[in-house]
Structure 1
Amino acid sequence: MPAREELGSEAFRAIDRMREAMTARMSAGLSPTALAMAQFDWWTHLMAAPGKRLELADKAARKSARLLAHVAALDSDPDAPPTIEPLPGDDRFSGEAWRKPPFSIWAQSFLLTQQWWHNVTHEVPGVSPHHEDVVSFMARQMLDLFSPSNVPFMNPEIISRTIETGAMNFVKGFANWIEDQTRRVNGQPRVGAEEFAVGKDVAVTPGKVVFRNHLIELIQYAPTTPDVFADPVLIVPAWIMKYYILDLSPANSLIRYLVGKGHTVFCISWRNPTAEDRDLGLDDYRRLGLMAAVDAVSAIVPDRRIHAAGYCLGGTLLAIGAAAMARARDDRLATVTLLAAQTDFSEPGELALFIDHDQLHLLESMMWDRGYLSADQMSGAFQMLRTNDLVWSRMVRNYLMGEREPMFDLMAWNADTTRMPYRMHAEYLRKLYLDNDLAAGRLMVEGRAAAIQNIRAPMFVVGTERDHVAPWRSVYKIHDLTDTELTFVLTSGGHNAGIVSEPGRPRRRYRIATKHADGVSIGPDEWTASADARQGSWWEAWTDWLALHSEAARVAPPPMGAPDHSLPPLDDAPGVFVLQR
C-alpha cells in the first residue's frame, strides 16, 4: 500500500512538472511567478515609501534640468561636453557622431533615464536584495530594448551607412537574418564557425586519447622538449562547453604553451550528454571524470604527484575532489590550480538573478522533461546578462548595418555548445548555488564532508576583472576557506578571454600576491591595493609557479599510455567525444 501511495504522489508531482515545463517553453526559461513576486515586493514597498517617491521626483526634476541645460549649451557650442557619460563597458554611444546634436541629445536623455531607473529600482525601503536585483535587471532589459542605438532613424552610424549604401544595408541585413534563422532551425553553428574545424584549425596540439569511459576521454599530449618536469599536469575543463578553449589555435593554446615549457600534459574531454544520461549526478562527474583521470595519470606516470588545474565548473569539481582526497589522506595532488572557478557561492554575481527556489523548480522541470539542459537555454541566460554586447550590438551590426562580425577561434568555440544532464545540473545549482553546501562544509562525498579547509596542497587561483559568470570577488572568497599556501591572480579580461591570455597579446596585465599558510587574510579591496601589478600574461607567472613546486630534476618524457600497456593509446587527439553534437 505505501508503494502504491508513493507511486500516486509521484504521478501528481509529474503533472506539476509537465505544467512547469510547458511554462518554461513559453517564458524562455524564466519563472513568471518569480518575476511577479519581485515586482510585487518592489511596487508595494515603493507605494508605502512617500519619502522615496519624493526623492525620485526630485531626481527626475534635476535630471530634466541637466538635460535642458545641455540642450541650451549646444545652441551656442555644438561640441559642448556631455552632462553624463556612459557606464564603463557601455560603448553604444562611443562614436564621434553621437557627440553631435540631435544624436547627443537622444543619447544624453537615454543615459539620464537609465540612471533615474537605477534610482527607482534601488534602495526602496523593505525590498529584499534578491527582488531588488531582479527588478533592476528587468528595468535594464526594457531600457536596452528602446535604446536610441537600436533605432535606425536615431542611430547616426546606421543613418550614415544607409546613405552610403543606398539602403542596401537593410537588404543585406535581412539576408543575414534569414541565414541566421535558417541555421538556428537546422541546428547549425553561426556563420563562419566552419572555418575553425576541430582537429584541423583548433584543438590541434598533437596527442593521444589514452583512456575512455562513458563520461570522459583523457588526452595525453606529445612532448616537444627532450626532457620534461617529472610531475605531470592534469587539466579539468568545464563540461558546460567543449574542452578545447584551452587548446584553441596554436598561437593561443594554453595546452601547447605548457607542453612547450616541458610539462607532460593530460586533459579531460567530456562526453556531450543526451537524454539517456539524465541520471548522471555531480558525484558521477567526480568519480567517472576527475578521479578516473587521476587514476589513469597515476598509472601512466607512476610514483609522481599531479599538478591539477580546473577551469570554471571543472575548477569547482576539482576543489570538491581535492577536498575529498585530502579527507581520505590521498596525497596524489602536488598542487591545485583553479581558473575562474567559484568555491563559495554566497555572492555569485548576476547569475543569481536566475537562481531562487521558484526559478530552480521551473528549471528542474524543464530539464526533467527533456533529460538535459539544452545549449540554447544555457546560452540564452548568459546573453541576457550582457544584452548590450551579446544581443543588441550584434543585431545592429548584422541586421541594421548589414555587416558580419569577423569570426575568430574563441567565438567559434563559443558556438560549439554542449548539454547538461538533468540530475547533475539540478544538484549543482541546488547544492552549490542555492544552498552553498561546499563553502559551508555540508557537501558530502562518500559519506564524509568535502571541506576545502582540508586541502594542504599549494593553490594557484585566477580571477578575471570582467567575469560575469564567476565574478572575481566571488572567486577570491577561497581565501576564507583554506589555510594552505594560496597564490591569487587577478587578470584583465572576462571569463573566457581573461583565461585565454597568451604571452605577447597587447594590453594584458594582472595582479598577483601569495598568502602563506600562517598569513593573515585581507579583503579583496585591500588585496587589490597591495598586490604586485604586472604587465603581460599570467601564464608566465603560473608556469614559474609550477616549476617552483616541481622537482628540480628533469626526466625523459613518459610513454604515451601506461608503460604496462594497461592503458594503450586509443585515438589521435582530439578524440571523438569533442565531435559529438
Structure 2
Amino acid sequence: MAQDSDKPGKGPAPGGAKPAEPAFRMPDPDTLGRTMADVAERGHRIVTDFLNRQSLNAAESGRPGPDPMQMGSAFLEMSTRLMANPARLVQAQLGFWQDYLTLWQNTARRMWGEEVSPVIAEDSKDRRFKDEAWRENEVFDFIKQSYLLSARYFTGVVHAAEDLEPKTAQKVDFYTRQFVDAMSPSNFLMTNPEVLRKTAETGGENLLRGLQNLLSDLERGKGKLKIRMTDDSKFSIGENIAVSPGKVVFQNDLMQLIQYSPATDTVLKRPLLIVPPWINKFYILDLRPKNSFVRWAVAQGHTVFIVSWVNPDEALAAKSFEDYMMEGPYAALDAIEQATGEKSVNAIGYCLGGTLLSATLARMAARKENRIKSATFFTTMVDFEEAGELGVFIDEEQLKAIEDRMSKRGFLEGGEMATTFNMLRANDLIWSFVVSNYLMGQEPFPFDLLYWNDDSTRMPAAMHSFYLRRMYQQNDLVKPGGVTLGGTPLDLRQIKLPTYILSTREDHIAPWKSTYRATQLYAGPVRFVLAASGHIAGVANPPESGKYSHWVADSLPASPDEWFTGAMELSGSWWPDWHRWVSALDKTQVPARQPGQGGLPALEDAPGSYVKVMASD
C-alpha cells in the first residue's frame, strides 16, 4: 500500500535513482483501526458466550471439571519412578548440557565463518523446518537445534522412567510429545523465519489477517478453537464431490443404500457391497472422479453398492452396535437381493465398518449363512490388544467422562472424535494450520480430503459406549463367545471365506501390526497387503496418481515384522492387485444393471440426503 512521501525511507535517492524500498512496511492505520475494533467487539462476544456455557455446565454438574485424561496422576507416577533412580536423571541432564555447550561453541565458530556439523539434525521429512533459513542463518539454526536437543531430552527422560504400568507409560509419552510439538519454535512469531519475513513484507498485515482468522475459528467453535483446515466454500456434496452417478435404492433409520450406475456393458455377476465407517462419511471413497475408488471399481465391471450412514441425533441415542449390524450389512444384503436377484456378494469393510463386517461374518458363520462370498478389510482392527495411540484415550475415567457427556445429549459430538484423531498427527493437522492461518494470515487451500476430514459425524450413545468398552477396553471381539449379537455368540475363528486385508504402513488410527493380527484368526485363505502412507491416503490411492507403493507376500507368519522382512515392495497402487484377487473368485459376467430398474425403485439421486446432514445441523 502507498506511503506518504515524507515517511522514513521515502526521500529522493541520490542521482535521481528510484527511492529505496523500506525493509519493513508500516501497517495501514485505517486497516489496523478497523481490525482492532472488530477484534474487540467479536472477542468480547466470544468470551462472554464461552464463560456463560462454562458456568452453566459447572452448575449442572455441581463441580468443576475433572482431569478426565488423568494426565496429572500419570506424570506424578512418572516423576516418582524417575526420582527412584536419580543417577540416571543426572546423567541425562549432564548429557543435555554437554550437547548444549557444544551447540554454543559451534554457533560461535559459524559466526566466525567456520563450517561445522550440526550437533543434532532435524528429520528430512520434518516440514516445520523446510525453510532454508533454519540451516543458513546462524541464529535460527541455533534456535532449531536448541529445540531439537530439548525435545530429545524431554522424551529421553520420559522413556527412562522404569517399571511404569504400560498404559501410564503410553499416556506420559503421548502427552510429552504433544507438549514438545506445541513448543516448536516454528509455532511462534519471533522464532519462525518465514513468519518474520512475511511480517516484514506486509507491514504486519499477515498478523491482522491471522487474528481475523482466529476469531472466525473461535466463532465456528462457539468459544472453542475449531481450526479451519480447508476452504469449505469451494466444495458441495453431489456437485463437485461425491459425484459418481447412481441412485439411493433403499433406506432405513440408520442408512441409505446407494447403487451406482454401470460404466460397462457387462458386469461381474456378484455385486460388491461397501460398508464404510460411521465415524466419518462414506464419500472418502468417492471424493473426486480422479481419486474415487467407487468410480474405479464401477469401471472394472463391479455393481457397486455402498452404505451411507445417517448422521444421528438424540432420537437415535439407543441405537446399538447390534442395530448397526442388522440395519446395516444385513439390511443391505436383503436390499441387494431385491435389486439384483443375487443372494451372494463380495463385501468391503473400511475401519470401523470392517470391524462391523467381521462381527457380521462371525454371526453368519455360526448360523451357517453364506451370502457374503469374500471379505475385504481396509485398515481394520478386530484384535484391540495393541490399539496404538488411541489407547491413550481409553481408560475408565475417560470412558465415564465420555458416557456422561453422551447421556446428556444422546450422542457424542463429531468434533470431539475429530480432535482426538487430529492429535495423533498434531504437527500436520493442528500446528501447521496454526502457523499458516494465524501467523502467516493465509486462507486455507481448498483440499477435498481435508473437507471430508472436517465433515464429522455424531456417535449414538449406546453404540459408541459398547464399541469403546467391548472392543477397545476389554478386547472382547477376539475372544470366542466374548461378544453376542442378535442372540448369537461370535467367534472370528469360524470365518472361513476368502479374505483380503489391506493395511497402511503409517496408520496412526489402526496400526498395521495390530491389523495384521487378523491374519492369524480367520480360517479361510487370507491375502495381506501393506500400502504406503496412512489411514486415508494409503487407501484412496488410484493407479493413475503414481503415488505410494505397496508390499505383498505369499506367506503369513505369526510375526508382522517377519512378514515385512519377506515381503516384496511393488510400485504404485494396490487397487489392481485387489481387483485381480476378487475377480478371480468368480469371473461370471451378466448384463449391466441400472439402479432403480431392478426389484427396488430409485428413491433419489446419489449421493442421497443422509450424507448431507452436517454435525452442526
TM-score normalised by L of structure 1: 0.91
Instruction: Assess, with a 3 A threshold, how the Cα gap between structure 1 residues 66 and 479 changes in structure 2: closer, same or farther.
Output: farther
2:484 corresponds to 1:444: yes
Cα distance in 2 for partners of 1:92, 1:188 equals: 18
Cα distance in 1 for partners of 2:61, 2:228 equals: 26
Cα distance in 1 for partners of 2:61, 2:414 equals: 18
Query: Hey, what does 2:42 align to over in structure 1?
Result: none
Cα distance in 2 for partners of 1:167, 1:78 equals: 35
Query: Hey, what does 2:43 align to over in structure 1?
Result: none
Cα distance in 1 for partners of 2:590, 2:64 equals: 56
Query: Hey, what does 1:430 align to over in structure 2?
Result: 469
Kindly provide the CA deviation profile for residues 333-365 of structure 1, in whole angstroms up to 9, marking residues without a partner as x: 111000011111111111111111121111111
2:231/2:443 contact within 8 Å kept: no
Residues 497-536 of structure 1 aligned to structure 2 (within 5 Å): 497-515=537-555, 521-536=557-572
Post-superposition offset of 1:548: 1.1
2:255 corresponds to 1:222: no
Equivalent position to 1:118, from 155, 170, 182: 155
Query: Hey, what does 2:52 align to over in structure 1?
Result: none
- What residue identity is the alignment partner of 1:37? S
Kindly provide the CA deviation profile for residues 247-302 of structure 1, in whole angstroms up to 9, marking residues without a partner as x: 11111110000001110000000011001111111111111111111121123233
Query: Hey, what does 1:481 align to over in structure 2?
Result: 521
Query: Hey, what does 2:71 align to over in structure 1?
Result: 35
Query: Hey, what does 1:457 align to over in structure 2?
Result: 497
Equivalent position to 2:197, from 149, 156, 160: 160
Equivalent position to 1:372, from 394, 411, 422: 411
Cα distance in 2 for partners of 1:25, 1:486 equals: 51
Cα distance in 2 for partners of 1:562, 1:324 equals: 32
Equivalent position to 2:180, from 137, 143, 163: 143
Give unpaired runs (5+ residues) of structure 2.
1-56
Equivalent position to 2:299, from 256, 260, 277: 260
2:547/2:573 contact within 8 Å kept: no
Equivalent position to 2:588, from 548, 553, 575: 553
2:607 corresponds to 1:574: yes
Instruction: Assess, with a 3 A threshold, how the Cα gap between structure 1 residues 20 and 223 changes in structure 2: closer, same or farther.
Output: farther
**Larger mean Cα displacement after TM superposition, 250-259 or 155-164:** 155-164
Instruction: Assess, with a 3 A threshold, how the Cα gap between structure 1 residues 231 and 316 changes in structure 2: closer, same or farther.
Output: same
Post-superposition offset of 1:306: 0.8
Instruction: Assess, with a 3 A threshold, how the Cα gap between structure 1 residues 21 and 381 changes in structure 2: closer, same or farther.
Output: farther
Give the SS at the match of 2:90. Answer: helix
Cα distance in 1 for partners of 2:235, 2:341 equals: 37
Kindly provide the CA deviation profile for residues 148-197 of structure 1, in whole angstroms up to 9, marking residues without a partner as x: 11121111111111122222211221222233333333999766213211
Give unpaired runs (5+ residues) of structure 1.
1-17
- What residue identity is the alignment partner of 1:329? K
Query: Hey, what does 1:83 align to over in structure 2?
Result: 119
2:388 corresponds to 1:335: no
Cα distance in 1 for partners of 2:565, 2:333 equals: 38
2:508 corresponds to 1:468: yes
Cα distance in 2 for partners of 1:365, 1:79 equals: 60
Cα distance in 1 for partners of 2:127, 2:356 equals: 36
1:20/1:365 contact within 8 Å kept: no
2:347 corresponds to 1:308: yes
2:275 corresponds to 1:236: yes
Give the SS at the match of 2:477. Answer: helix
Cα distance in 1 for partners of 2:299, 2:62 equals: 51
Equivalent position to 2:329, from 290, 310, 320: 290
- What residue identity is the alignment partner of 2:131? G
**Larger mean Cα displacement after TM superposition, 279-288 or 184-193:** 184-193
**Larger mean Cα displacement after TM superposition, 383-392 or 175-184:** 175-184
1:218/1:268 contact within 8 Å kept: yes
Instruction: Assess, with a 3 A threshold, how the Cα gap between structure 1 residues 405 and 531 changes in structure 2: closer, same or farther.
Output: same
Query: Hey, what does 1:54 align to over in structure 2?
Result: 90
Residues 95-110 of structure 1 aligned to structure 2 (within 5 Å): 95-99=131-135, 100-110=137-147
Cα distance in 2 for partners of 1:269, 1:579 equals: 10
- What residue identity is the alignment partner of 1:138? Y
Cα distance in 2 for partners of 1:175, 1:376 equals: 22
Cα distance in 1 for partners of 2:62, 2:179 equals: 21
Cα distance in 2 for partners of 1:423, 1:132 equals: 30
1:189/1:416 contact within 8 Å kept: no
Cα distance in 1 for partners of 2:402, 2:189 equals: 36
Residues 194-233 of structure 1 aligned to structure 2 (within 5 Å): 194-233=233-272
Cα distance in 2 for partners of 1:569, 1:24 equals: 53
2:282 corresponds to 1:247: no
Give the SS at the match of 1:489. Answer: strand
Residues 347-426 of structure 1 aligned to structure 2 (within 5 Å): 347-426=386-465
Give the SS at the match of 1:122. Answer: helix
Post-superposition offset of 1:21: 8.8
Counting matched residue pairs gives 554
1:301/1:562 contact within 8 Å kept: no
Instruction: Assess, with a 3 A threshold, how the Cα gap between structure 1 residues 472 and 276 changes in structure 2: closer, same or farther.
Output: same
Post-superposition offset of 1:461: 0.9
Cα distance in 2 for partners of 1:66, 1:318 equals: 57
Post-superposition offset of 1:120: 1.0
Cα distance in 1 for partners of 2:331, 2:401 equals: 33
- Identity level (%): 37
Instruction: Assess, with a 3 A threshold, how the Cα gap between structure 1 residues 485 and 137 changes in structure 2: closer, same or farther.
Output: same
Cα distance in 1 for partners of 2:221, 2:336 equals: 40
Post-superposition offset of 1:58: 3.5
Cα distance in 1 for partners of 2:313, 2:491 equals: 32
2:358/2:492 contact within 8 Å kept: yes
1:46/1:124 contact within 8 Å kept: yes
Cα distance in 1 for partners of 2:337, 2:597 equals: 9
Post-superposition offset of 1:574: 0.9
Post-superposition offset of 1:73: 4.3
2:383/2:475 contact within 8 Å kept: yes
Q: What stretches of structure 1 move > 3 A for 4+ residues in a row?
A: 18-27, 75-81, 182-191
Kindly provide the CA deviation profile for residues 17-64 of structure 1, in whole angstroms up to 9, marking residues without a partner as x: x9899599957xx615x2222122212111222343233233323432
Cα distance in 1 for partners of 2:498, 2:58 equals: 49
- What residue identity is the alignment partner of 1:553? T
1:209/1:574 contact within 8 Å kept: yes
Post-superposition offset of 1:417: 1.5
Post-superposition offset of 1:414: 1.3
1:24/1:363 contact within 8 Å kept: no
Superposition RMSD on alpha carbons, in Å? 2.3
TM-score normalised by L of structure 2: 0.85
Query: Hey, what does 1:8 align to over in structure 2?
Result: none
2:107 corresponds to 1:74: no
Post-superposition offset of 1:231: 0.6
Give the SS at the match of 2:129. Answer: coil
- What residue identity is the alignment partner of 1:183? R
Query: Hey, what does 1:4 align to over in structure 2?
Result: none
Cα distance in 2 for partners of 1:211, 1:64 equals: 66
Post-superposition offset of 1:111: 0.6
Cα distance in 1 for partners of 2:574, 2:306 equals: 20
